[in-house]
Structures are given as C-alpha cells and as structure tokens.
Amino acid sequence: MATTINLNYTDRAREALSGADNTMFHYETGAPFPQTGDFLETDLAGGTQTFIVIGRVFRYRTDEIVVNVYLDLPPGPEPDGTDTTVSGTEAD
C-alpha cells in the first residue's frame, strides 16, 4: 500500500519564510516518520530551515494512506523580540 505525505506549513511559517510551500512526496516503508513535537529540516530556496511538527492527520483510502503533516516555526524569539520558547525545549 502506498503512503503519500503532504507537508503543510502554517500561515505563520509561510509568512516568515520564502519558499515554504506545501509539499507532497511518497513515503518509503521503514523510513523514520515524524511524530508531533519532532523537528524536521526542509531544504528551501534560502537554505535549510527547521520546523516543528504540530500535528498529523491520517486518511485511509482503498489503495493508499495519505498523511497530512502540519509544520510550524520552532519556538524561539519572534522578529519583534517576543520569546515564544516553550519550557523544556531549549537547553538552559
């Protein structure tokens, strides 16, 4: 059974980065699969960018499974200086 994965970026991630467009690819069985809370690196036009997986939705079809993976910017300082770091995600 084929597995299709859609990477969906939040509006916040798309606004902050150029080249962060939703992407689709096919999953190879046995490869590690991102879990909610995992960090995922993606090659964009401006270079490699790290995102955090904020959710997943599975859709089962007769001949394939479609997984929507939702990505956002990782916690940290905002451009305006506001710190959105979540406790326990960064070394003290």
Tell me if 18 is assigned to some domain. Answer: yes
Write out pLDDT tens, residues 48-75. Answer: 889 999 999 999 988 888 889 999 999 8
Nearest to 68 by CA among 79, 53, 80: 53
Tell me if 90 is assigned to some domain. Answer: no
Task: With beta carbons less than 8 A apart as the criterion, state whether 34 and 55 touch.
Answer: no
Tell me if 78 is assigned to some domain. Answer: no
Residue 21's domain comprises 2-72
Tell me if 92 is assigned to some domain. Answer: no
Domain count, the chain: 1
Write out pLDDT tens, residues 14-43. Answer: 877 766 677 777 776 776 778 999 998 888
Write down the pTM of the prediction: 0.68
Tell me if 82 is assigned to some domain. Answer: no
